[in-house]
Amino acid sequence: MFMAKIASKADTPDPAFFISEDEWEYWQERAAIMEYDGGLSRDEAELKAYKYLLLRRNRYAQTA
């Protein structure tokens, strides 16, 4: 999985890797859509979905 590959390369934990259950579901749903409807590999889909998750998180943090 994308997260395991990235996390194993990190020397220190990145707060971005700590996601809530809701964020996990959002991430997996987006990745599945990108994989099946977009024709991406699972790794590509998870990476793109994770980037969208971080953008979404930052957008909500700025409006709060």
Q: Where are the domains of the chain?
A: 19-63
> CA-CA distances (angstroms) from residue 20 to 2, 17, 25, 60?
17, 10, 9, 14
pTM over 0.75: no
The string of pLDDT tens digits covering residues 36-45 is 999 999 999 9
Determine contact, residues 19/53, Cβ cutoff 8 Å.
Answer: yes
Identity of the residue numbered 42? R
Residue 2 confidence (pLDDT) above 70 = no
